[in-house]
Amino acid sequence: MAKHVLLNAVVTVNGVDLTSRARNISWNAGVSKHPAGAFGDAEDYSMPGVRQVDDIQIEFFQDYAASNVYATLKPLWAANSIFTLTAKADSGADSATNPNFTVSVFIGKMPMINGGRGEANMATVTFVPASAMTFDVS
């Protein structure tokens, strides 16, 4: 079984490539669960519900310059905009082994300034899904 190390991931926010400012991404999907135990059952158990995409968190090196993190995100946050977020594990072409994940999102949380003296100013932004996720493979 192949193992994968993230070295060359790609992150775009509302069409702006913020890859060079991103340090960490957490994009998880799952399935909701619903209780399925009935009278007489000795154990609790669940049945699967609908698929769901969790909030997506991306840690950026904060940058206030034009076309960078703050300048891209602040207007989207201020306007309560829904926009497209894409990410893939490698900069190569979209494929079955390098899917480009895409979802419409809005900003749930966005640090304006974060860090201590002598530390990197990091912005861990929470993107909240506002549509179904797609997997582009070509």
* Sequence ranges of the domains in the chain: 10-28+48-136
CA dist 87 to 36, 56, 94, 118, Å? Answer: 35, 11, 11, 30
Q: What 8-state DSSP symbol labels residue 50?
A: E
97-121 pLDDT per residue, tens: 999 999 999 999 999 999 999 999 9
User: Torsion angle of alpha carbons 101, 102, 103, 108, nearest 10°?
Assistant: 70
CATH number of 10-28+48-136: 2.30.110.20
Q: Distance between terminal CA atoms of the chain?
A: 23
Q: For residue 129, which of 35, 50, 23, 20 has the smallest C-alpha distance?
A: 50
pTM for the full predicted model: 0.90
9-37 pLDDT per residue, tens: 999 999 999 999 999 999 999 999 999 99
